[in-house]
Homo-oligomer: A and B are copies of this chain.
Protein backbone atom coordinates (compact mmCIF):
# COMPACT_ATOMS: atom_id res chain seq x y z
CA UNK A 1 0.00 0.00 0.00
CA UNK A 2 1.91 3.00 -1.19
CA UNK A 3 -0.17 5.36 0.86
CA UNK A 4 1.32 3.89 3.99
CA UNK A 5 4.71 4.72 2.80
CA UNK A 6 5.72 8.24 3.03
CA UNK A 7 5.87 10.80 5.55
CA UNK A 8 8.37 12.81 7.10
CA UNK A 9 11.99 12.83 6.91
CA UNK A 10 13.28 10.74 9.59
CA UNK A 11 10.37 9.59 11.51
CA UNK A 12 8.54 8.51 8.43
CA UNK A 13 11.24 6.23 7.29
CA UNK A 14 10.35 4.12 10.15
CA UNK A 15 6.89 4.20 8.78
CA UNK A 16 8.01 4.33 5.24
CA UNK A 17 9.66 1.07 5.78
CA UNK A 18 6.54 -0.36 7.18
CA UNK A 19 4.83 -1.31 3.98
CA UNK A 20 7.95 -1.93 2.11
CA UNK A 21 9.10 -4.06 4.91
CA UNK A 22 5.74 -5.58 4.71
CA UNK A 23 5.78 -6.72 1.14
CA UNK A 24 9.43 -7.44 1.56
CA UNK A 25 8.91 -9.01 4.89
CA UNK A 26 10.46 -12.21 3.74
CA UNK A 27 13.85 -10.53 3.51
CA UNK A 28 13.24 -8.01 6.28
CA UNK A 29 15.67 -9.84 8.43
CA UNK A 30 18.17 -10.27 5.67
CA UNK A 31 21.10 -7.89 5.75
CA UNK A 32 21.44 -5.88 2.53
CA UNK A 33 24.99 -7.17 2.45
CA UNK A 34 23.67 -10.62 1.85
CA UNK A 35 21.33 -9.71 -0.98
CA UNK A 36 22.17 -9.15 -4.59
CA UNK A 37 20.23 -6.38 -6.19
CA UNK A 38 20.40 -4.96 -9.68
CA UNK A 39 19.17 -1.62 -10.89
CA UNK A 40 17.25 -1.17 -14.13
CA UNK A 41 20.46 -0.45 -16.01
CA UNK A 42 21.92 -3.74 -14.95
CA UNK A 43 24.38 -2.42 -12.42
CA UNK A 44 24.80 -3.96 -9.01
CA UNK A 45 27.62 -1.70 -7.79
CA UNK A 46 25.65 -0.50 -4.77
CA UNK A 47 24.17 -1.82 -1.57
CA UNK A 48 20.87 -0.47 -0.35
CA UNK A 49 17.90 -1.83 1.57
CA UNK A 50 15.62 -2.33 -1.39
CA UNK A 51 16.17 -1.05 -4.91
CA UNK A 52 12.45 -1.37 -5.54
CA UNK A 53 11.80 1.69 -3.38
CA UNK A 54 13.56 3.87 -5.97
CA UNK A 55 10.38 5.41 -7.29
CA UNK A 56 9.28 6.60 -3.86
CA UNK A 57 12.71 8.01 -3.27
CA UNK A 58 12.67 9.86 -6.57
CA UNK A 59 9.48 11.62 -5.53
CA UNK A 60 11.04 12.72 -2.25
CA UNK A 61 14.06 14.05 -4.13
CA UNK A 62 11.83 16.03 -6.45
CA UNK A 63 9.97 17.57 -3.53
CA UNK A 64 13.28 18.55 -1.96
CA UNK A 65 14.49 20.16 -5.19
CA UNK A 66 11.69 22.69 -5.02
CA UNK A 67 13.16 24.43 -1.99
CA UNK A 68 16.86 24.14 -2.95
CA UNK A 69 17.22 26.96 -5.43
CA UNK A 70 20.89 27.67 -4.79
CA UNK A 71 21.93 24.12 -5.71
CA UNK A 72 19.65 24.05 -8.72
CA UNK A 73 21.06 27.30 -10.04
CA UNK A 74 24.52 25.82 -9.63
CA UNK A 75 23.40 22.79 -11.58
CA UNK A 76 22.12 24.95 -14.40
CA UNK A 77 25.51 26.49 -14.78
CA UNK A 78 26.76 23.04 -15.63
CA UNK A 79 24.87 23.07 -18.85
CA UNK A 80 27.60 25.27 -20.28
CA UNK A 81 30.63 23.86 -18.55
CA UNK A 82 31.45 20.83 -16.43
CA UNK A 83 33.64 22.19 -13.64
CA UNK A 84 33.84 18.73 -12.09
CA UNK A 85 34.56 16.85 -15.30
CA UNK A 86 37.01 14.13 -14.36
CA UNK A 87 36.36 14.48 -10.66
CA UNK A 88 35.97 11.19 -8.83
CA UNK A 89 34.28 12.01 -5.56
CA UNK A 90 33.98 9.63 -2.67
CA UNK A 91 31.45 10.92 -0.18
CA UNK A 92 30.23 10.14 3.30
CA UNK A 93 27.21 12.09 4.51
CA UNK A 94 23.68 11.60 5.79
CA UNK A 95 21.74 10.09 2.90
CA UNK A 96 18.52 11.98 2.57
CA UNK A 97 16.46 13.61 -0.16
CA UNK A 98 18.47 16.77 0.29
CA UNK A 99 21.92 15.24 0.09
CA UNK A 100 20.66 13.36 -2.95
CA UNK A 101 20.08 16.74 -4.60
CA UNK A 102 23.68 17.62 -3.77
CA UNK A 103 25.05 14.33 -5.13
CA UNK A 104 23.06 14.62 -8.31
CA UNK A 105 24.25 18.19 -8.71
CA UNK A 106 27.86 16.98 -8.49
CA UNK A 107 27.06 14.41 -11.14
CA UNK A 108 25.46 17.09 -13.33
CA UNK A 109 28.65 19.12 -12.95
CA UNK A 110 30.67 16.21 -14.33
CA UNK A 111 31.71 14.21 -11.30
CA UNK A 112 31.59 10.46 -10.75
CA UNK A 113 30.36 9.71 -7.24
CA UNK A 114 30.57 6.82 -4.77
CA UNK A 115 28.70 7.42 -1.56
CA UNK A 116 28.19 6.05 1.93
CA UNK A 117 26.36 7.11 5.06
CA UNK A 118 27.95 8.98 7.96
CA UNK A 119 25.36 7.77 10.44
CA UNK A 120 23.93 4.32 10.99
CA UNK A 121 20.35 5.53 11.52
CA UNK A 122 19.84 8.54 9.28
CA UNK A 123 19.67 6.95 5.82
CA UNK A 124 16.39 7.30 3.93
CA UNK A 125 16.27 3.87 2.34
CA UNK A 126 14.07 4.93 -0.57
CA UNK A 127 16.37 7.83 -1.39
CA UNK A 128 19.39 5.53 -1.35
CA UNK A 129 17.45 3.29 -3.72
CA UNK A 130 16.68 6.20 -6.03
CA UNK A 131 20.35 7.19 -6.13
CA UNK A 132 21.39 3.61 -6.85
CA UNK A 133 18.79 3.41 -9.59
CA UNK A 134 20.12 6.60 -11.19
CA UNK A 135 23.64 5.17 -11.28
CA UNK A 136 25.34 6.45 -8.14
CA UNK A 137 27.18 3.75 -6.26
CA UNK A 138 25.58 4.02 -2.85
CA UNK A 139 26.36 1.85 0.13
CA UNK A 140 23.98 2.69 2.96
CA UNK A 141 20.82 1.68 4.78
CA UNK A 142 18.99 2.63 7.90
CA UNK A 143 19.99 0.57 10.88
CA UNK A 144 23.51 -0.47 9.93
CA UNK A 145 25.61 -2.23 12.52
CA UNK A 146 29.00 -0.75 13.30
CA UNK A 147 30.57 -3.46 11.20
CA UNK A 148 28.21 -2.60 8.33
CA UNK A 149 29.20 1.03 8.68
CA UNK A 150 32.90 0.44 8.04
CA UNK A 151 32.14 -2.19 5.43
CA UNK A 152 30.13 0.39 3.47
CA UNK A 153 32.92 2.95 3.68
CA UNK A 154 35.37 0.37 2.50
CA UNK A 155 33.20 -0.59 -0.45
CA UNK A 156 33.13 3.06 -1.48
CA UNK A 157 36.85 3.56 -1.42
CA UNK A 158 38.24 0.20 -2.29
CA UNK A 159 37.09 -0.52 -5.82
CA UNK A 160 39.03 -1.87 -8.66
CA UNK A 161 39.69 0.40 -11.61
CA UNK A 162 38.46 3.55 -9.91
CA UNK A 163 40.34 5.85 -7.63
CA UNK A 164 38.91 8.87 -5.86
CA UNK A 165 40.54 12.23 -6.43
CA UNK A 166 38.21 14.23 -4.13
CA UNK A 167 36.79 13.46 -0.68
CA UNK A 168 33.58 14.96 0.72
CA UNK A 169 33.19 14.01 4.35
CA UNK A 170 30.84 14.72 7.24
CA UNK A 171 32.31 13.63 10.53
CA UNK A 172 35.75 12.55 9.39
CA UNK A 173 35.15 8.81 9.40
CA UNK A 174 35.75 8.39 5.69
CA UNK A 175 38.91 10.50 5.87
CA UNK A 176 40.06 8.49 8.85
CA UNK A 177 39.50 5.20 7.00
CA UNK A 178 41.44 6.34 3.97
CA UNK A 179 44.31 7.53 6.18
CA UNK A 180 44.38 4.23 7.98
CA UNK A 181 43.78 1.74 5.20
CA UNK A 182 44.56 3.36 1.88
CA UNK A 183 47.04 6.18 2.50
CA UNK A 184 48.25 5.88 -1.07
CA UNK A 185 44.89 7.21 -2.26
CA UNK A 186 46.04 10.65 -1.13
CA UNK A 187 48.57 10.73 -3.93
CA UNK A 188 45.73 11.43 -6.32
CA UNK A 189 43.33 13.31 -4.03
CA UNK A 190 43.25 17.05 -4.71
CA UNK A 191 41.39 17.92 -1.54
CA UNK A 192 38.99 17.13 1.27
CA UNK A 193 35.75 18.99 1.96
CA UNK A 194 34.56 18.50 5.52
CA UNK A 195 31.32 19.72 7.05
CA UNK A 196 31.18 18.75 10.71
CA UNK A 197 32.71 20.17 13.86
CA UNK A 198 34.25 16.85 14.72
CA UNK A 199 35.68 16.27 11.26
CA UNK A 200 37.13 19.75 11.08
CA UNK A 201 38.65 19.31 14.51
CA UNK A 202 40.42 16.15 13.32
CA UNK A 203 41.70 17.94 10.23
CA UNK A 204 43.19 20.75 12.30
CA UNK A 205 44.86 18.14 14.51
CA UNK A 206 46.32 16.44 11.45
CA UNK A 207 47.46 19.79 10.12
CA UNK A 208 49.05 20.72 13.43
CA UNK A 209 50.82 17.38 13.56
CA UNK A 210 52.08 17.96 10.01
CA UNK A 211 50.20 14.91 8.81
CA UNK A 212 47.62 16.52 6.58
CA UNK A 213 48.73 15.55 3.10
CA UNK A 214 46.18 17.43 0.97
CA UNK A 215 44.37 20.78 1.22
CA UNK A 216 41.07 20.72 3.09
CA UNK A 217 38.08 23.05 3.12
CA UNK A 218 36.31 23.65 6.43
CA UNK A 219 32.67 24.11 5.54
CA UNK A 220 31.51 23.92 9.13
CA UNK A 221 32.80 27.33 10.06
CA UNK A 222 31.39 29.16 7.09
CA UNK A 223 29.02 31.92 8.09
CA UNK A 224 26.17 30.34 6.19
CA UNK A 225 26.50 27.02 7.95
CA UNK A 226 26.79 28.59 11.38
CA UNK A 227 23.85 30.91 10.95
CA UNK A 228 21.53 28.88 8.78
CA UNK A 229 22.12 25.31 9.84
CA UNK A 230 22.21 26.19 13.49
CA UNK A 231 20.15 29.24 14.33
CA UNK A 232 17.40 29.16 11.75
CA UNK A 233 17.19 25.44 11.31
CA UNK A 234 17.02 24.63 14.99
CA UNK A 235 14.45 27.35 15.53
CA UNK A 236 12.10 25.24 13.48
CA UNK A 237 13.26 21.73 14.26
CA UNK A 238 13.02 22.07 18.04
CA UNK A 239 9.28 22.64 17.71
CA UNK A 240 8.87 20.00 15.07
CA UNK A 241 10.85 17.39 16.95
CA UNK A 242 8.98 17.94 20.22
CA UNK A 243 5.56 17.98 18.57
CA UNK A 244 6.05 14.87 16.49
CA UNK A 245 7.28 12.85 19.41
CA UNK A 246 5.17 14.14 22.29
CA UNK A 247 2.30 16.31 20.94
CA UNK A 248 3.10 18.61 23.84
CA UNK A 249 1.52 22.06 24.01
CA UNK A 250 4.22 24.73 24.24
CA UNK A 251 2.09 27.53 25.71
CA UNK A 252 2.81 28.00 29.40
CA UNK A 253 5.42 25.27 29.64
CA UNK A 254 8.51 25.93 31.71
CA UNK A 255 11.63 25.11 29.75
CA UNK A 256 15.33 25.31 30.48
CA UNK A 257 17.68 25.42 27.51
CA UNK A 258 21.26 24.49 28.41
CA UNK A 259 23.61 26.54 26.25
CA UNK A 260 22.99 29.80 24.41
CA UNK A 261 25.10 29.38 21.27
CA UNK A 262 23.47 29.51 17.85
CA UNK A 263 21.50 26.31 18.49
CA UNK A 264 20.35 27.50 21.89
CA UNK A 265 19.39 30.88 20.47
CA UNK A 266 17.23 29.18 17.86
CA UNK A 267 15.54 26.91 20.39
CA UNK A 268 14.87 29.72 22.85
CA UNK A 269 13.49 32.05 20.22
CA UNK A 270 11.00 29.51 18.91
CA UNK A 271 9.82 28.25 22.28
CA UNK A 272 9.39 31.75 23.65
CA UNK A 273 7.43 32.77 20.58
CA UNK A 274 4.97 29.96 21.17
CA UNK A 275 4.36 30.90 24.78
CA UNK A 276 6.82 28.76 26.69
CA UNK A 277 8.51 30.30 29.72
CA UNK A 278 12.17 29.81 28.92
CA UNK A 279 15.31 30.12 31.01
CA UNK A 280 18.89 29.41 30.06
CA UNK A 281 22.07 27.98 31.53
CA UNK A 282 25.30 29.33 30.08
CA UNK A 283 28.86 29.60 31.32
CA UNK A 284 30.30 31.91 28.68
CA UNK A 285 29.70 35.47 29.91
CA UNK A 286 29.15 36.96 26.45
CA UNK A 287 26.51 34.39 25.55
CA UNK A 288 25.01 34.75 29.02
CA UNK A 289 24.68 38.51 28.59
CA UNK A 290 23.08 37.94 25.21
CA UNK A 291 20.58 35.62 26.86
CA UNK A 292 19.78 38.34 29.41
CA UNK A 293 19.39 40.99 26.73
CA UNK A 294 17.14 38.64 24.76
CA UNK A 295 14.92 38.25 27.82
CA UNK A 296 15.93 34.85 29.14
CA UNK A 297 16.78 34.43 32.77
CA UNK A 298 20.21 32.87 33.21
CA UNK A 299 20.04 30.18 35.86
CA UNK A 300 21.88 27.17 37.26
CA UNK A 301 20.33 23.89 36.17
CA UNK A 302 20.16 22.42 39.64
CA UNK A 303 18.27 25.44 40.94
CA UNK A 304 15.44 25.14 38.44
CA UNK A 305 15.35 21.51 37.34
CA UNK A 306 12.62 20.60 39.81
CA UNK A 307 10.08 22.99 38.22
CA UNK A 308 10.81 22.37 34.57
CA UNK A 309 8.44 20.79 32.04
CA UNK A 310 11.25 20.38 29.51
CA UNK A 311 15.04 20.26 29.64
CA UNK A 312 16.89 20.79 26.35
CA UNK A 313 20.65 20.51 25.97
CA UNK A 314 22.76 22.26 23.36
CA UNK A 315 26.04 23.09 25.01
CA UNK A 316 28.43 20.84 23.12
CA UNK A 317 29.64 19.51 26.45
CA UNK A 318 29.35 16.12 28.14
CA UNK A 319 27.01 15.12 30.97
CA UNK A 320 25.32 18.45 31.20
CA UNK A 321 22.26 16.65 32.52
CA UNK A 322 23.36 14.19 35.18
CA UNK A 323 21.55 11.38 36.93
CA UNK A 324 21.18 13.68 39.90
CA UNK A 325 19.34 16.20 37.75
CA UNK A 326 17.17 13.44 36.31
CA UNK A 327 16.35 12.21 39.81
CA UNK A 328 15.04 15.64 40.72
CA UNK A 329 12.87 16.25 37.64
CA UNK A 330 9.13 16.27 38.06
CA UNK A 331 6.74 13.69 36.68
CA UNK A 332 6.25 14.14 32.95
CA UNK A 333 9.37 16.22 32.35
CA UNK A 334 10.62 15.93 28.77
CA UNK A 335 14.39 15.66 28.25
CA UNK A 336 16.10 15.95 24.90
CA UNK A 337 19.33 16.94 23.21
CA UNK A 338 19.82 19.41 20.35
CA UNK A 339 23.61 19.66 20.71
CA UNK A 340 26.33 18.17 18.58
CA UNK A 341 27.27 15.31 20.79
CA UNK A 342 25.11 12.46 22.01
CA UNK A 343 26.56 12.65 25.49
CA UNK A 344 25.06 15.85 26.84
CA UNK A 345 22.48 13.83 28.74
CA UNK A 346 23.98 11.08 30.86
CA UNK A 347 21.66 8.42 29.45
CA UNK A 348 23.93 5.62 30.60
CA UNK A 349 23.19 6.54 34.21
CA UNK A 350 19.52 5.71 33.58
CA UNK A 351 20.22 2.13 32.65
CA UNK A 352 20.07 0.85 36.19
CA UNK A 353 17.85 -1.90 37.63
CA UNK A 354 15.60 0.32 39.76
CA UNK A 355 14.44 2.30 36.73
CA UNK A 356 12.00 0.87 34.18
CA UNK A 357 12.21 1.89 30.55
CA UNK A 358 9.05 1.87 28.49
CA UNK A 359 9.21 2.61 24.79
CA UNK A 360 5.91 4.42 24.19
CA UNK A 361 6.48 5.54 20.63
CA UNK A 362 9.32 5.50 18.20
CA UNK A 363 12.09 7.69 19.66
CA UNK A 364 10.16 8.17 22.92
CA UNK A 365 11.01 6.36 26.12
CA UNK A 366 9.35 6.75 29.47
CA UNK A 367 11.91 6.16 32.15
CA UNK A 368 10.00 5.24 35.29
CA UNK A 369 11.24 5.75 38.83
CA UNK A 370 10.21 3.39 41.67
CA UNK A 371 7.67 5.96 42.92
CA UNK A 372 5.97 6.04 39.52
CA UNK A 373 7.56 9.29 38.31
CA UNK A 374 8.08 9.27 34.54
CA UNK A 375 10.73 11.19 32.68
CA UNK A 376 10.15 11.36 28.94
CA UNK A 377 13.45 10.84 27.14
CA UNK A 378 13.59 11.58 23.41
CA UNK A 379 15.83 9.81 20.92
CA UNK A 380 17.76 8.26 23.80
CA UNK A 381 19.64 11.52 24.12
CA UNK A 382 20.81 11.62 20.52
CA UNK A 383 20.23 14.71 18.37
CA UNK A 384 16.54 15.45 18.38
CA UNK A 385 16.64 17.38 15.15
CA UNK A 386 18.27 14.54 13.29
CA UNK A 387 16.20 11.84 14.86
CA UNK A 388 12.75 13.31 15.28
CA UNK A 389 12.25 16.23 12.94
CA UNK A 390 12.95 17.18 9.39
CA UNK A 391 15.61 19.59 8.30
CA UNK A 392 14.16 22.08 5.83
CA UNK A 393 15.52 21.65 2.33
CA UNK A 394 16.13 25.37 2.07
CA UNK A 395 18.62 25.37 4.90
CA UNK A 396 20.41 22.30 3.65
CA UNK A 397 20.61 23.86 0.23
CA UNK A 398 22.73 26.67 1.59
CA UNK A 399 25.24 24.31 3.17
CA UNK A 400 25.21 21.89 0.26
CA UNK A 401 25.98 24.71 -2.13
CA UNK A 402 28.95 25.63 -0.01
CA UNK A 403 30.14 22.03 -0.14
CA UNK A 404 29.78 21.91 -3.91
CA UNK A 405 31.59 25.21 -4.35
CA UNK A 406 34.39 24.01 -2.10
CA UNK A 407 34.76 20.86 -4.22
CA UNK A 408 34.86 22.91 -7.43
CA UNK A 409 37.40 25.32 -5.96
CA UNK A 410 39.76 22.63 -4.67
CA UNK A 411 39.42 20.53 -7.81
CA UNK A 412 40.18 23.40 -10.18
CA UNK A 413 42.62 25.45 -8.13
CA UNK A 414 45.97 26.05 -9.84
CA UNK A 415 48.78 24.29 -8.10
CA UNK A 416 50.11 26.23 -5.19
CA UNK A 417 46.95 28.11 -4.36
CA UNK A 418 46.22 25.72 -1.51
CA UNK A 419 48.82 24.03 0.64
CA UNK A 420 48.44 21.05 2.97
CA UNK A 421 46.32 23.06 5.35
CA UNK A 422 42.69 23.72 6.35
CA UNK A 423 40.93 26.59 4.53
CA UNK A 424 37.64 28.46 4.62
CA UNK A 425 35.85 29.00 1.32
CA UNK A 426 36.68 32.46 -0.06
CA UNK A 427 33.71 34.68 0.88
CA UNK A 428 33.15 36.02 -2.57
CA UNK A 429 32.48 32.60 -4.07
CA UNK A 430 29.67 31.90 -1.65
CA UNK A 431 28.00 35.27 -1.95
CA UNK A 432 27.16 35.05 -5.59
CA UNK A 433 25.25 31.82 -5.04
CA UNK A 434 23.49 33.18 -2.00
CA UNK A 435 22.16 35.85 -4.28
CA UNK A 436 20.49 33.08 -6.24
CA UNK A 437 18.83 31.82 -3.10
CA UNK A 438 17.53 35.27 -2.39
CA UNK A 439 15.60 35.34 -5.63
CA UNK A 440 13.10 32.95 -4.19
CA UNK A 441 12.14 35.46 -1.52
CA UNK A 442 11.32 38.22 -3.96
Chain A residues packing against B (C-beta within 8 Å): 1, 3-4, 6-9, 11-12, 14-16, 18-19, 22, 59, 63, 66-67, 223-224, 227-228, 231-232, 235-236, 239-240, 243-245, 247-252, 254, 269-270, 272-278, 284-286, 288-290, 292-298, 331-332, 359-362, 374, 389-390, 392-395, 398, 431-432, 434-435, 437-438, 441-442
* Contact yes or no, A3 B236, CB < 8 A: no
A7–B13 Cα distance when bound, in Å, is 14
* Contact yes or no, B235 A275, CB < 8 A: yes
Cβ contacts A to B, 11 pairs, < 8 Å: A3-B6, A3-B359, A6-B360, A7-B244, A59-B360, A63-B247, A244-B244, A247-B392, A251-B295, A289-B434, A289-B437
Contact partners of A295 in chain B: CB under 8 A: 251-252, 272, 274-278
Contact partners of A331 in chain B: CB under 8 A: 66
* Closest residue of B by beta carbon distance from A270: B274
* Closest residue of B by beta carbon distance from A25: B22
Contact partners of A240 in chain B: CB under 8 A: 239-240, 243
Extra A-B contacts (5), CB below 8 Å, given A239-B240, A285-B437 = A6-B15, A7-B361, A63-B360, A270-B274, A285-B432
Contact partners of A360 in chain B: CB under 8 A: 6, 16, 59, 63
* Contact yes or no, B289 A361, CB < 8 A: no
Contact partners of A4 in chain B: CB under 8 A: 3, 14
- With a 10 A CB-CB cut-off, give which of A249, A272, A284 has the most chain B CB atoms: A249
Main secondary structure of the interface of A (DSSP, over half): helix
* Closest residue of B by beta carbon distance from A330: B440
* Contact yes or no, B395 A292, CB < 8 A: no
* Contact yes or no, B289 A6, CB < 8 A: no
* Contact yes or no, A441 B18, CB < 8 A: no
A289–B394 Cα distance when bound, in Å, is 11
Within 8 Å by CB of A275, from B6, B18, B252, B293, lies B293
A359–B3 Cα distance when bound, in Å, is 9
- With a 10 A CB-CB cut-off, give which of A22, A254, A274 has the most chain B CB atoms: A274
Contact partners of A278 in chain B: CB under 8 A: 295
* Closest residue of B by beta carbon distance from A245: B12
A21–B398 Cα distance when bound, in Å, is 41
* Contact yes or no, A252 B292, CB < 8 A: yes
Given contacts A63-B360, A275-B295, contact A252 B441 (CB under 8 A): yes
* Contact yes or no, B6 A7, CB < 8 A: no
* Contact yes or no, B251 A236, CB < 8 A: yes
| A400 CB to nearest chain B CB (Å) | 14
* Contact yes or no, B286 A227, CB < 8 A: yes
Within 8 Å by CB of A290, from B9, B227, B235, B247, lies B227
* Closest residue of B by beta carbon distance from A246: B63
* Contact yes or no, A288 B19, CB < 8 A: no
Within 8 Å by CB of A251, from B232, B277, B285, lies B232
The 9 closest A-B pairs by CB, nearest first: A273-B273, A249-B392, A252-B292, A285-B434, A251-B293, A247-B390, A275-B295, A249-B394, A6-B361
A19–B434 Cα distance when bound, in Å, is 45
* Contact yes or no, A277 B252, CB < 8 A: no
A435–B287 Cα distance when bound, in Å, is 11
Contact partners of A293 in chain B: CB under 8 A: 228, 231-232, 251-252, 275
